[in-house]
Amino acid sequence: MLTIENLSVKVEDKLLLKNINLNMDNGEVHVLFGPNGAGKSTLINTILGNPKYKVVGGSIYFKGKDITDMPIYERAKLGIGISYQSPPSIPGVKLKDLLKIISKVDWEKIEKMAETLHFKDFLKRDVNVGFSGGEVKRSELLQLFAQNPEFIMFDEPDSGVDVENVKLIGTIINDILLEKTKKPADRKKSGLIITHMGHILKFINVDRAHVLYDGIISCSGSPDEILNTIIKYGYERCIACYQKRKH
Ligand SMILES: Nc1ncnc2c1ncn2[C@@H]1O[C@H](COP(=O)(O)OP(=O)(O)OP(=O)(O)O)[C@@H](O)[C@H]1O
Ligand SMILES: [Mg+2]
């Protein structure tokens, strides 16, 4: 699904990602941990093709195609989707109208998902205008559901979300990624989830975890093991382990 080779990225002359390598197969769900400012949002914005992030080395392949220099709309057409950490508000554009434009699934299904998300009343409002932090996350999820991408990146879908809604959002993310209505062999959606909190992972089947630290993937492995290590020892342990392996 996605292969990243030796990716280095700059924003305004600051090197934010250094030699990133990442491989995700069809149907896999990975989680990306890392402290504030590590470069997590930078990585997924670069995968999406946000032109603010300049690739200064390496390549990104999606479904076997080199997308490193592809514009953002072509990547979206190929099936890459994102739920932003802090999406903009769009005054004058109703959420319902936006959903109708971007939608690749039947309107009835979108309405049903809006109901599940307790979000029907928001369809007539301008996109994200005056939405609370938690409401913005549900708006993003509904937009992703409508776009139906094959590879979905979630940038902190749980930040600012109350306990009950974390369960709701986590369960829906899992349903979307697992494509519950399909037979296991036909499921091929993949996801990359950024989170600081372990709680949401109770509801999502995650295959692999990575730790991004200072623009470097310092560790990859079992999600439970890595999360427990971070909780117990902090990120310093991950970087110490990385340096030990390097030498
Ligand atoms: N235009 C810019 N000029 C200089 N530095 C920048 C610019 N844009 C982003 N950065 C820096 O890049 C670093 C990585 O930012 P990024 O948003 O990727 O972090 P993150 O891992 O997503 O953190 P968080 O967990 O807080 O969301 C940060 O230190 C940020 O301040
Ligand atoms: Mg971020």
CATH of the domain at 71: 3.40.50.300
Ligand 1 atom with minimal separation from the 215 CA: 14
Predicted TM-score (pTM) of this structure: 0.94
Q: How far is CA 101 from CA 95, 134, 146, in A?
A: 10, 24, 9
The reported pLDDT for the residue numbered 77 is 94
Instruction: Report residue 4 as tokens.
Output: 């990243």
Q: What is the pLDDT of residue 238?
A: 80
Q: What is the pLDDT of residues 78-114, one digit of tens each?
A: 999 999 999 999 999 999 999 999 999 999 999 999 9
Query: Cα 1–59–236 angle (5° rounding)?
Result: 85
CA atoms within 13 A on the CB side of 84: 12
* Ligand 1 site residues, Cβ closer than 6 angstroms: 11-12, 14, 16, 34, 36-42, 85
How many angstroms does the Cα of residue 85 sit away from the middle of ligand 2? 6
Name residues whose C-beta falls within 8 Å of residue 84's C-beta, 6 or more positions apart in sequence.
140, 155
**CA–centroid distance, residue 52 to ligand 1 (Å):** 12
CA-nearest residue, atom 10 of ligand 1: 11
Give the nearest ligand 1 atom to 212 CA: 21
Domain of 9?
A: 2-246
Which two structure tokens, joined as six digits, stand for 211? 């730790």
Cβ atoms of 207 and 221 closer than 8 Å: no
- Residue closest by Cα to atom 24 of ligand 1: 36
- Find the 38 Cα to ligand 1 centroid distance in Å: 7
How many independent structural domains does the chain possess?
Answer: 1
Check if the beta carbon of residue 46 is closer than 8 Å to that of residue 15.
no
- The list of the chain residues with pLDDT below 70 reads 180, 184
User: Cα–Cα distances in Å, from 56 out to 6, 12, 20, 156?
Assistant: 10, 12, 12, 26
Using CB atoms within 10 Å of the CB of residue 126, give its burial: 0 to 12 exposed, 13 to 18 middle, 19+ buried: middle
CB 72 within 8 A of CB 48: yes
- What is the distance in A from the centroid of ligand 1 to the CA of 42? 7
pLDDT of residue 8: 98
Nearest to 38 by CA among 215, 195, 197: 215
